[in-house]
Amino acid sequence: MPTLELSPIKPNNTVHLKMKKTYRKEEVEKTLLEKDTEIKYLKGTMMQQQAVLVLQNLYTRKVRQQLHTKEEKGKKKANQKLTHDGLGKVLTMPELIEEAEALEKAQEDAAQEKEDRRQGRLEHATRMTEWKVQMEERDTENERRRNLLKEAVQEWEEARVAAKRAKQVLKQWEKKNPKPLQKWPQFTRLPAIPKPKATSNQVVDDDGEHIDVENVVDSDEDVKDDDD
């Protein structure tokens, strides 16, 4: 991992002004400039240190994930040998038969678990595709409602100008003709559709790597709604 060397903070050898009752404008500006330079230097040093800490945290997190994945993968490899002690076995021995049955059952369970994970990933991918279609329809409808509100407000403003020219009392006119608002049902934006969540065994394969669904991204509309 690349490291960033930080130079030590250099002492400020600037001769400060001696304390006196009055200062010239040039002296004050010079002192302020020196202090501003010191502050900027210290801020730059702090930002460099923070950047190093962030990179180190990312690196250590990646290493921990790789180590955890390797350990979990090693645990899944069961010993399939029936003669652990190296001694000969008779195929009709009850102990050998029980051990063979247990090994066969463990292999079947592992295969079934792997198939369940694969099926879970496929189902999650299907739900994500359906969710994307629903979000696109929702974004299209919200855009239509936004344009509808914009047109309604524009028409209301034009009608208000006409009423003002006709010397009508605007307060009474606005009471009879309220300004269109976004909270009205026909203008209210549809809420975001919850994104399907997958369990850990659905999105993690045997190598411990995350499986992303292609071409499925969060809608920009969600970000706008959250900001609003």
Secondary structure (DSSP) of 128-190: HHHHHHHHHHHHHHHHHHHHHHHHHHHHHHHHHHHHHHTT--HHHHHHHSPPP-TTSTTTPPP
DSSP tag of 82: S
d(CA 23, CA 143): 63
d(CA 59, CA 64): 9
Phi/psi at 84 (5° precision): -70, -35
What pLDDT, on the 0 to 100 scale, is given for residue 128? 92
CB 159 within 8 A of CB 177: yes
pTM: 0.44
What pLDDT, on the 0 to 100 scale, is given for residue 105? 87
Phi/psi at 13 (5° precision): -90, 10
The gap between the terminal CA atoms of the chain, to the nearest Å, is 40
What pLDDT, on the 0 to 100 scale, is given for residue 146? 93
What pLDDT, on the 0 to 100 scale, is given for residue 66? 86
List, for the chain, all residue ranges whose pLDDT scores fall below the cut of 50: 1-2, 14-17, 203-228
d(CA 74, CA 23): 75
Other Cβ atoms within 10 Å of 54 Cβ, number: 10
DSSP tag of 21: S
Other Cβ atoms within 10 Å of 103 Cβ, number: 15
Under DSSP, is residue 47 helix (H, G, I), strand (E, B) or coil? Answer: helix
What pLDDT, on the 0 to 100 scale, is given for residue 8? 56
Nearest to 178 by CA among 198, 157, 199, 162: 157
Q: What token pair was written down for 128?
A: 């994500």
What pLDDT, on the 0 to 100 scale, is given for residue 83? 56
Helices within the chain (DSSP H only):
25-76, 94-165, 170-176, 200-203, 220-227
What pLDDT, on the 0 to 100 scale, is given for residue 5? 54
